[in-house]
Chains A and B, each alone.
Chain A
């Protein structure tokens, strides 16, 4: 198969066929993860660099693990907050990166569009590992992978995404990815965190979590940034949990088959209760493993163009 794209910036740019190619590739990658020796020579000599302006140990190590298993060299560019406060602009960073011997750059940034900004200015490939409130395509792909693994496919399935939808790149990318593959998505949250303009996604919006849980095949709780309370976006954690928390009683409405997902890290006792997070319905731990497989698939496709056989 052929993979002509240089970058992965946003699910919106992908066709359903392209998403399927990534997910199918991830299936073989996951098989590698079960082998005793988890190391492939596929991308030997390639350099993958991490550029994380927001700290996220989980996502960064997932990408690093994925790249290493494929035989690529990884490095972390120490940008963090120090160079930002020194006033080094993203443009300066792009110039520096262009002069380094990097094949693929993994970027996380608090500003929406920062990965695309770099991709437009660099000859190397860029993967968006989360930008502002805009997109988190690898998270969406691994979530959909996890659902597909359980169900065989997501077409016709109903997935409820609940929480701070307004500020969530995970919700945006998941809604786009799932609807492209023929699933039904319902976004749920309080009106302050689920404004009407979110209907741009072409999915249903609802304030009533309990009603939407009925008939749901999967439910994804979004991480609640606790600071939002100070901005007045919700009155208290107590009321939030009462209306939108994923509790055992509530899960009973959806039935035993309903999958529970969370992009992590969880605020246990706020958007999700521990007994739900750790229940047999939860695929939250599997999501972590699947994250590595999906990221392997992406790194492989972007760096090899799909030309060489990945899994020998």
Chain B
């Protein structure tokens, strides 16, 4: 039994944003209220109490886009280290992408990932399975059976499905599962050898640029396909105004389309890319300032449904290369929430209610996970968040095996200080206690 007192509870699913007490029993939320009469709580034992004054209590974050690299690239990350990174960042449920080695395209591999997640015993790890066998973009995977083994979404994330007919068939066939097809929108021919967003910054650095249309042309295609098939489409990591136009059109038409945005695309732009720091190399690439501003507005007005980290760990020596030769990707599980707080919530660009809505409630609803709210009866997945706590992002502190974050060395303010999963305390920030 756990009694959290005087927390600033933010739970959009219940329309709560204010000081509340929360009572947890048997791993689930029992009650939430302004003050809880003690006689209703005790079933004999003395509850453990925690005074949360001055701190927020959020439902555990639900991260719809994570790369945990296991199986095959455990030197970058594995499911255990990634789970530790998750709870350190306040993430209690995550969807991990299928672009491992081998690709998650069989029942045994889906079951393996889910089992490794349970063995780690921290965040809930939900596998996404590939859309096409081996992610070759040619033949559909056995989606119905993959779902039976625990897949909760289908995605060839890491590359776009280049063949429009295959994508159309995927949106049709995935209806058997009820799971969304998650599209990494990238037209390979348009992207070419690009290593950052095409624009003045890429021209000045002499780095090959990929035009925004490399993303938005495929996003438009996929939205139209979702409309025509009636399939369930989720656009991963949207980053251009063109994609937003397609998304708005699809939503206005009433099609089953959702989208996520990554914190780095809301905070950084192509102008921030240093020639020799490949921690800023990410796919989709950092947007123009105009795109960045449009993304933020679209998140605030609900055009973009949710936040997701796109945590993409790479070993230090892989990133310690000239920009064009380094792999794409940033680590983000441990910095997403502090970065959003520092750069978006504190300056008043994003409300705390919308933050929790977008990073907990909406992804849980979209992917049908038992998470994202502190409603009585739900698993007690919770984050205690200290808006005043500051820390310099430091490589040696990271739980992730990789440290390829552009925020390295920056001071962020607003960190998770305790994380519970199913009522168990799974993370406590040492310096904050």
Contacts and interface: CB of A to CB of B under 8 A. Distances in A.
A169 interface: yes
A112 B203 contact: no
B321 A134 contact: no
Contacts of B350: none
Contact of A113 (B199, B200, B323): B323
A135 B204 CA distance: 9
A151 interface: no
Contact of A111 (B202, B204, B325): B325
The listed residue with most B CB atoms (<10 A of its CB), out of A109, A114, A135, A172, is A114
The listed residue with most A CB atoms (<10 A of its CB), out of B203, B320, B322, B324, is B322
Given A132-B207, A133-B206, A90 B200 contact: no
B206 A198 contact: no
A117 B322 CA distance: 7
Contacts of B317: 89, 91
Interface string B173-212: 0000000000000000000000000111111111111000
A199 interface: yes
B379 to A, nearest CB: 45
A197 B275 contact: no
Given A120-B276, A134-B275, A199-B200, A112 B205 contact: yes
Contacts of B200: 197, 199-200
B308 to A, nearest CB: 29
B204 A89 contact: no
A112 B322 contact: yes
A248 to B, nearest CB: 33
A133 B204 CA distance: 9
B203 A111 contact: no
A172 B205 CA distance: 10
Interface in A190-231: 195, 197-200
Given A89-B317, A112-B275, A197 B202 contact: yes
A132 B276 CA distance: 13
Contact of A89 (B199, B203, B321): B321
B203 to A, nearest CB: 4
Contacts of A135: 206
Nearest to A10: B275
A271 interface: no
A91 B320 CA distance: 7
The listed residue with most A CB atoms (<10 A of its CB), out of B198, B199, B201, B276, is B276
Contact of A200 (B198, B204, B208): B204
B203 A109 contact: no
A8 to B, nearest CB: 15
A114 B201 CA distance: 17
B323 A195 contact: no
B161 to A, nearest CB: 24
Given A134-B275, A197-B198, A113 B320 contact: no
Contact of B206 (A89, A91, A112, A120): A112
A69 to B, nearest CB: 31
A87 to B, nearest CB: 11
Contacts of B325: 90, 111
A257 B203 CA distance: 32
B276 A111 contact: no
A109 B202 CA distance: 18
Interface string A76-113: 00000000000001110000000000000000010111
Nearest to B326: A111
A255 to B, nearest CB: 32
A196 B135 CA distance: 36
B271 to A, nearest CB: 10
B321 A91 contact: yes
The listed residue with most B CB atoms (<10 A of its CB), out of A89, A112, A198, is A112
A116 interface: yes
Interface in A57-91: 89-91
B203 A169 contact: no
A106 B267 CA distance: 37
Contacts of B275: 112-113, 116, 134
A200 B201 CA distance: 8
B206 A195 contact: no
Given A109-B322, A113-B323, A198 B203 contact: yes
Contacts of A7: none
Given A116-B276, A117-B276, A199-B200, A169 B206 contact: yes
A90 B276 CA distance: 12
A184 interface: no
B318 to A, nearest CB: 9
Given A131-B206, A134-B205, A112 B199 contact: no
A128 to B, nearest CB: 11
Interface in B276-314: 276
Contacts of B201: 200
B291 to A, nearest CB: 14
Interface string A222-265: 00000000000000000000000000000000000000000000
B321 A200 contact: no
Interface in A99-157: 109, 111-114, 116-117, 120, 131-135
A131 B204 CA distance: 13
Contact of B207 (A112, A116, A117, A195): A112
Closest 3 CB pairs of A and B: A134-B206, A111-B322, A133-B206
13 contacts: A89-B321, A91-B320, A91-B321, A112-B275, A112-B324, A116-B275, A120-B276, A133-B206, A133-B207, A134-B205, A135-B206, A197-B199, A197-B209
Given A197-B203, A198-B203, A200-B203, 12 more contacts: A90-B321, A90-B325, A111-B325, A113-B207, A113-B322, A113-B323, A116-B276, A117-B322, A133-B207, A135-B206, A166-B203, A199-B200
